[in-house]
């Protein structure tokens, strides 16, 4: 039994803090949060659990979902064991190359926020934004955190898991948004919740295929249909379930990053761009990874104006992010703005220890680099630096 099956935690491999983001009078709070991150890096749930308040966290879980008394009793009675299981399950394996960075920290008047970014291959990024507070002794406490991979907070995610723990017709009636659901509909939803709990895609779709359109558009079912279809690599089911998921969560900007990634799987770069731009507009933290990805998606659709705009935003927001400068270089090369490509070339060589000669550019899979390497502007630049 795994209640917290989608809890994502943080392994801190490197830290990047925007200059000036931790004010001098926040130094103590900043130091305390670094200790929290170190405890996670060491997979020490014993240490991490000390910054969580069980009552506060449990009350937040219950505020998201109507939880039956028997489920509540199980959750309360096994609270730390269940949370720890989720904590350990979602730590990257030993030797993982997943890169995690602390990109923003702020703390004032006893409350604050910290944002951690995970950088994976192929422009994949996820974020956790921690809500923090001081306790009466001036120690940092983690109140809750938003997980972009789930599109919601940790406690909301736990609340959804609790629904599947012991589904009954009475409990199902409370979560179904359909007015006056039939006994058949309640039975079907109860059974599919069991399939979600037990992670059984065949059983899930056996039930799902008998659903009417109303039931397929129940938020929890729409969300899990995509996850199940992706897990069994059924591209047709995946495409259909993504369409429903996007329709159901159309008003929820927190889900837009997930939608963007789903469209990327479907190789629909325009829709992926639109969803990521929507998420970017709602994300209050200035950084470079999302603009860099927006630049790449815009370039993939032939939109060089947006591609350049977002590449520039990436380099301004986060000059230390190498990806932003590569994005700018690709845009300028694709647009045949070879003179404009020179600042990006220079920055990459001077700050990231690259030797960008003609042979290296020609070996790159990005075809526009071959034309850049043949340009007189590049040859003059290269000659001046040899």
Q: From the DSSP assignment, how many helices (H) and strands (E) are in the chain? A: 21, 5
State how far the Cα of 198 lies from the Cα of 161, in Å rounded to an integer: 11
If asked whether residues 213 and 292 sit together in one domain, one would say: no
Find all residues with CB under 8 Å of 168, minimum gap 6, and list them: 68, 190
- Taken as a whole, the chain contains a residue count of 386
CA dihedral 246, 249, 253, 257 (to 10 degrees): -40
Q: Which tokens is 140 given?
A: 């940092």
If asked whether residues 29 and 155 sit together in one domain, one would say: yes
Q: Which tokens is 111 given?
A: 């409350």
pLDDT on residue 288: 97
If asked whether residues 173 and 154 sit together in one domain, one would say: no
Output the CA–CA distances (angstroms, integers) from residue 319 to 174, 179, 328, in the order listed.
49, 53, 12
State how far the Cα of 375 lies from the Cα of 357, in Å rounded to an integer: 12
Which residue positions in the chain have pLDDT lower than 50?
A: 1-25
Contact in structure between 65 and 160 (CB atoms under 8 Å): yes
Mapping DSSP to helix (H, G, I), strand (E, B) and coil, where does residue 118 land?
Answer: strand
Which of 126, 159, 192 is the last residue before a domain boundary?
159
Strand partners, 88: none
State how far the Cα of 116 lies from the Cα of 130, in Å rounded to an integer: 8
State how far the Cα of 81 lies from the Cα of 172, in Å rounded to an integer: 26
Domain interval for residue 106: 24-159
Which of 196, 215, 250 is the last residue before a domain boundary?
250
If asked whether residues 298 and 361 sit together in one domain, one would say: yes
Q: Helices 289-300 and 304-317: crossing angle, nearest 10°?
A: 170
pLDDT on residue 347: 97
Strand partners, 144: 131
If asked whether residues 186 and 154 sit together in one domain, one would say: no
Q: Which tokens is 54 given?
A: 């069980």
The reported pTM is: 0.88
Do the domain assignments include residue 75? yes
Tally of structural domains, the chain: 3
Q: Please give the helix or strand (H or E) that residue 251 lies within, else none.
A: none
Do the domain assignments include residue 48? yes
Do the domain assignments include residue 9? no
Among residues 183, 222, 228, the alpha carbon closest in space to that of 205 is found at 228
pLDDT on residue 42: 67
If asked whether residues 57 and 88 sit together in one domain, one would say: yes
| pLDDT per residue as tens digits for the range 256-289 | 999 999 999 999 999 999 999 999 999 999 999 9
Do the domain assignments include residue 7? no
State how far the Cα of 66 lies from the Cα of 314, in Å rounded to an integer: 42
Q: Which tokens is 322 given?
A: 């190498």
Find all residues with CB under 8 Å of 335, minimum gap 6, and list them: 304, 308
Q: Please give the helix or strand (H or E) that residue 321 lies within, else none.
A: none
Find all residues with CB under 8 Å of 49, minimum gap 6, and list them: 80, 83, 84
């Amino acid at each position: 039994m795994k209640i917290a099956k989608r809890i994502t935690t943080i392994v801190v491999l490197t830290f990047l803090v925007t200059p000036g983001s931790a004010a001098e009078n926040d130094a103590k709070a900043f130091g305390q949060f670094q200790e929290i991150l170190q405890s996670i890096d060491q997979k020490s749930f014993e240490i991490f659990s000390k910054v969580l308040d069980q009552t506060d966290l449990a009350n937040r879980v219950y505020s998201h979902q109507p939880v039956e008394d028997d489920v509540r009793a199980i959750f309360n009675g096994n609270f730390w064991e269940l949370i720890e299981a989720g904590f350990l399950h979602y730590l990257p394996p030993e030797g993982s190359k997943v890169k995690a960075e602390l990109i923003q920290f702020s703390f004032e008047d006893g409350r604050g926020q910290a944002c951690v970014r995970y950088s994976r291959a192929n422009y994949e990024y996820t974020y956790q934004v921690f809500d923090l507070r001081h306790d009466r002794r001036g120690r940092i406490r983690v109140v809750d955190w938003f997980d972009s991979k789930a599109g919601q907070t940790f406690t909301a995610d736990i609340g959804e898991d609790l629904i599947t723990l012991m589904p009954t017709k009475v409990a199902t009636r409370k979560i179904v948004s359909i007015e006056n659901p039939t006994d058949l509909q309640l039975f079907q939803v109860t059974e599919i919740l069991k399939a979600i709990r037990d992670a059984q895609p065949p059983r899930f779709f056996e039930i799902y295929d008998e659903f009417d359109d109303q039931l397929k558009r129940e938020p929890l079912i729409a969300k899990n249909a995509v996850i199940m279809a992706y897990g069994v690599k059924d591209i047709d089911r995946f495409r259909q379930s993504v369409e429903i998921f996007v329709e159901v969560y159309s008003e929820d900007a927190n889900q837009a990053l997930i939608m963007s990634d789903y469209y990327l799987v479907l190789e629909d770069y325009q829709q992926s761009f639109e969803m990521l731009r929507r998420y970017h507009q709602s994300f209050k933290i200035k950084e470079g990874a999302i603009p860099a990805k927006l630049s790449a998606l815009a370039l993939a659709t032939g939109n060089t104006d947006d591609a350049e705009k977002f590449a520039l935003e990436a380099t301004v927001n986060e000059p230390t992010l190498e990806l932003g400068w590569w994005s700018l270089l690709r845009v300028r090369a694709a647009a045949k703005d070879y003179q404009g490509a020179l600042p990006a070339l220079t920055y990459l060589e001077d700050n990231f220890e690259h030797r960008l000669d003609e042979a290296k550019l020609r070996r790159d899979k990005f075809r526009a680099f071959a034309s850049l390497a043949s340009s007189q502007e590049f040859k003059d630049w290269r000659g001046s630096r040899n």
